[in-house]
Structure 1
Amino acid sequence: MWCTSCALAVEGSLKRLKGVREVSVHYPSATLCISGTPAAIQLSTLAPKIKRLGYRLTELEPVADAHGRLEEESRYLTLRLMVGSLFGMWTMLASLLIYAGALPSERVELVVAWVSGAFSLPVVLFAGVPFYRAGWRTLLAKRPGMDVLVSLGVIGAVMVSVWLLWRGSSEVYFDTAVMLIVLLLVGRLVETLCRHRGLKALDALALPNDDITVWQDEHWESVPVDEVMKGTRVELAPGELIALDGILEDPGWIDTASLTGESLPRHFHAGQKVYAGCRYLGTTPLVMQVSAGVGKRRLDQLCDEMRRYQAKKGELQKLADRFAAWLSPLALVLAMLTLPAVLLLGLGLEDAFVRALSVLVVACPCAVGLAVPLASLAGSGQAMQQGVALRDPAALEILAHIRSVALDKTGTLTTGSHTVLHWQAREGVDERTLQRKLSVAVAGSEHPLAQALARWAGSQGDQRPEQCLQVNDTPGEGRRVQLNSGEWLTLGSAGWLSRQQIALPAQAEEATLSFASQVVIADEVGWLASFYLTDQPVDDAETSVKRLLASGYVVAMISGDRQGAVSWLGERVGLAREACYAQRSPEAKARLLQGLPSPTLYVGDGLNDTLSLAAADVGVAPLSASEAAREGASAQLMTPGMGGVVKLLGIAKRTRRIMVQNLFFSALYNTLALGLVVLMAIPPLVAVLAMAASSLTVTLNAARLAWAESDENS
Structure 2
Amino acid sequence: MTSSTHSESRDLAEALFSVQGLWCTSCALAVEAQLERLPGVTSASLHYPSATLLVCGHAEALDESVLASAVRRIGYRLGPPEAAGDAEARLEKESRYLILRLLIAASFGMWTMIASLLIYAGALPDAGLEQVLAWVSGAFALPVVAYAGLPFYRAAWRTLRARRPGMDALVSLGTLGAVGVSLWLLYQGSAEVYFDTAVMLILLLLAGRLVETLCRHRGLRALHALHTPPADVRRRDRGRWRSCPVEVVAPGDCLCVDQGEVLPLDGVLREGEALLDLAPLTGESAPRRCLPGDAVAAGCRNLGGPLILEVTAVAGECRLDKLREQMWWQQARKGELQRLADRFAAWLSPLAVALALFTWGMALLAGVPGEEALVRALSVLVVACPCAVGLAVPLAGLAGSGQALARGVVFRDPSTFESLAGIRAAAFDKTGTLTPGEPRVLGVNVAPDVVRATLLSLAAKAARDSQHPLARALRRHLRDEGVTVTKAEAEGVTRAEELAGRGRRVRLDDGRELLLGSRSWLAEQGIRAPEYGEASSSEILLACDGRWLGSFALGEQPLPGTGETLAGLREAGLALALISGDRRGAVESLGRTLGLSAEECYPERSPEAKARLVGALPQPSLYVGDGINDVLGLATATVGIAPLGASSAAREGAGVVLMRPGIEGVASAWWLARRTRRVMRQNLVLSGLYNALALGLAASMAIPPLIAVLAMVVSSLSVMGNSARLAWHDSAGPAAEPGEAGEPLRPGGGEFAIETKRVS
Deviation by residue 1:400-459 (Cα, 9 ceiling, x = unmatched): 33345466879975679876644555543322555688899999x999999999998998
State yes or no: 1:615 paired with 2:616: yes
Q: TM-score, normalised by structure 2?
A: 0.66
> Partner letter of residue 549 of structure 1?
A
Contact kept? 1:187, 1:696, Cα under 8 Å? no
Contact kept? 1:176, 1:688, Cα under 8 Å? yes
Q: In 1, Cα distance between the equivalents of 2:669 and 2:448?
A: 56
Residue aligning to 2:64: 43
State yes or no: 1:535 paired with 2:536: no
Contact kept? 2:435, 2:557, Cα under 8 Å? yes
Change (3 A) 1:74 1:640: closer
Q: In 1, Cα distance between the equivalents of 2:362 and 2:589?
A: 78
How large is the RMSD of aligned CA atoms in angstroms?
Answer: 6.2
> Partner letter of residue 37 of structure 1?
H
1:546 CA drift (Å) = 1.0
Residue aligning to 1:6: 27
Q: 2:189 aligns with which of 163, 168, 172?
A: 168
> Partner letter of residue 11 of structure 1?
E
Q: In 2, Cα distance between the equivalents of 1:146 and 1:678?
A: 20
Contact kept? 1:387, 1:638, Cα under 8 Å? no
Q: Secondary structure at the match of 2:77?
A: coil
Q: 2:125 aligns with which of 104, 107, 112?
A: 104
Deviation by residue 1:643-693 (Cα, 9 ceiling, x = unmatched): 675545644654565466446524524344323433444331243355467
Change (3 A) 1:448 1:347: closer
Change (3 A) 1:321 1:670: farther
Q: In 1, Cα distance between the equivalents of 2:383 and 2:430?
A: 56
Contact kept? 1:253, 1:265, Cα under 8 Å? no
Contact kept? 1:375, 1:655, Cα under 8 Å? no
Residue aligning to 1:317: 338
Instruction: Please say which of residues 609-618 and 265-274 is displaced more in the overlay.
Output: 265-274
Contact kept? 2:435, 2:556, Cα under 8 Å? yes
Contact kept? 1:332, 1:360, Cα under 8 Å? yes
Contact kept? 2:323, 2:632, Cα under 8 Å? no
State yes or no: 1:72 paired with 2:93: yes
Residue aligning to 1:599: none
State yes or no: 1:580 paired with 2:613: no
Contact kept? 1:418, 1:452, Cα under 8 Å? yes
Deviation by residue 1:495-533 (Cα, 9 ceiling, x = unmatched): x99xx999x9xxx788xx678769898999999677584
Residue aligning to 1:545: 563
Q: Secondary structure at the match of 1:198?
A: coil
Q: What is the count of residue pairs matched by the alignment?
A: 665
Change (3 A) 1:323 1:371: farther
1:136 CA drift (Å) = 1.7
Residue aligning to 1:128: 149
Residue aligning to 1:606: 605
Contact kept? 2:432, 2:645, Cα under 8 Å? no
Instruction: Please say which of residues 51-60 and 166-175 is displaced more in the overlay.
Output: 166-175
Q: 1:53 aligns with which of 61, 74, 81?
A: 74
Alignment of 1:285-300 (within 5 A): none
> Partner letter of residue 25 of structure 2?
T
Change (3 A) 1:532 1:11: same
Change (3 A) 1:492 1:658: closer
Q: In 1, Cα distance between the equivalents of 2:241 and 2:546?
A: 55
Q: In 1, Cα distance between the equivalents of 2:641 and 2:36?
A: 32
- Structure 2: segments with no counterpart, 5+ residues: 1-21, 647-657, 738-760
Contact kept? 2:28, 2:47, Cα under 8 Å? yes
Q: In 2, Cα distance between the equivalents of 1:166 and 1:487?
A: 103
Deviation by residue 1:308-334 (Cα, 9 ceiling, x = unmatched): 544444444333333322221111111
State yes or no: 1:364 paired with 2:364: no
> Partner letter of residue 535 of structure 1?
G
> Partner letter of residue 683 of structure 2?
F
Q: In 2, Cα distance between the equivalents of 1:694 and 1:212?
A: 58
Q: Secondary structure at the match of 2:49?
A: coil
Q: In 1, Cα distance between the equivalents of 2:135 and 2:631?
A: 70
Contact kept? 2:174, 2:381, Cα under 8 Å? yes
Q: In 2, Cα distance between the equivalents of 1:485 and 1:303?
A: 54
Change (3 A) 1:656 1:256: farther
> Partner letter of residue 200 of structure 2?
M
Contact kept? 1:276, 1:298, Cα under 8 Å? no
Q: In 1, Cα distance between the equivalents of 2:452 and 2:339?
A: 66
Q: 1:154 aligns with which of 159, 172, 175?
A: 175
State yes or no: 1:63 paired with 2:84: yes
Q: Secondary structure at the match of 1:350?
A: helix
Change (3 A) 1:625 1:160: closer
Contact kept? 1:157, 1:357, Cα under 8 Å? yes
Change (3 A) 1:106 1:401: closer
Q: In 2, Cα distance between the equivalents of 1:133 and 1:254?
A: 54
Q: TM-score, normalised by structure 1?
A: 0.69
> Partner letter of residue 180 of structure 2?
M
Q: In 1, Cα distance between the equivalents of 2:332 and 2:623?
A: 20
Contact kept? 1:80, 1:126, Cα under 8 Å? yes
> Partner letter of residue 359 of structure 1?
V
Change (3 A) 1:277 1:528: closer
1:147 CA drift (Å) = 1.8
Alignment of 1:457-536 (within 5 A): 461-462=484-485, 533=553, 535-536=555-556
Alignment of 1:410-425 (within 5 A): 421-422=442-443, 424-425=445-446
Q: Secondary structure at the match of 1:678?
A: helix
Q: Secondary structure at the match of 2:81?
A: coil
Contact kept? 1:88, 1:123, Cα under 8 Å? yes
Residue aligning to 2:234: 214
Q: Secondary structure at the match of 2:160?
A: helix
Q: In 2, Cα distance between the equivalents of 1:521 and 1:428?
A: 16
Deviation by residue 1:117-169 (Cα, 9 ceiling, x = unmatched): 45444443444333222212111222111122122212322332233233332
Alignment of 1:340-351 (within 5 A): 340-345=361-366, 347-351=368-372
Q: In 1, Cα distance between the equivalents of 2:91 and 2:180?
A: 34
- Structure 1: segments with no counterpart, 5+ residues: 582-588, 594-601
> Partner letter of residue 12 of structure 1?
A
Rg comparison, structure with higher value? 1
Contact kept? 2:68, 2:78, Cα under 8 Å? yes
1:357 CA drift (Å) = 0.4
Deviation by residue 1:161-184 (Cα, 9 ceiling, x = unmatched): 233233332212222223323433
**Percentage identity across paired residues of the two chains:** 45
Contact kept? 1:21, 1:35, Cα under 8 Å? yes
> Partner letter of residue 706 of structure 2?
L
Q: Secondary structure at the match of 2:164?
A: coil
Contact kept? 2:515, 2:543, Cα under 8 Å? yes
Contact kept? 2:584, 2:603, Cα under 8 Å? no
Residue aligning to 1:586: none
> Partner letter of residue 605 of structure 2?
G
Q: Secondary structure at the match of 1:39?
A: helix
Q: In 2, Cα distance between the equivalents of 1:626 and 1:90?
A: 55
Contact kept? 1:407, 1:603, Cα under 8 Å? no
Instruction: Please say which of residues 694-703 and 547-556 is displaced more in the overlay.
Output: 694-703
Q: In 2, Cα distance between the equivalents of 1:74 and 1:490?
A: 56
> Partner letter of residue 544 of structure 1?
T
Q: 1:24 aligns with which of 32, 40, 45?
A: 45
Q: In 1, Cα distance between the equivalents of 2:56 and 2:471?
A: 51
Q: Secondary structure at the match of 2:173?
A: helix
Q: Secondary structure at the match of 1:67?
A: helix
Change (3 A) 1:536 1:9: same
Instruction: Please say which of residues 373-382 and 143-152 is displaced more in the overlay.
Output: 373-382
Change (3 A) 1:470 1:223: closer
Q: In 1, Cα distance between the equivalents of 2:703 and 2:62?
A: 48
Q: Secondary structure at the match of 1:23?
A: strand
Residue aligning to 1:585: none
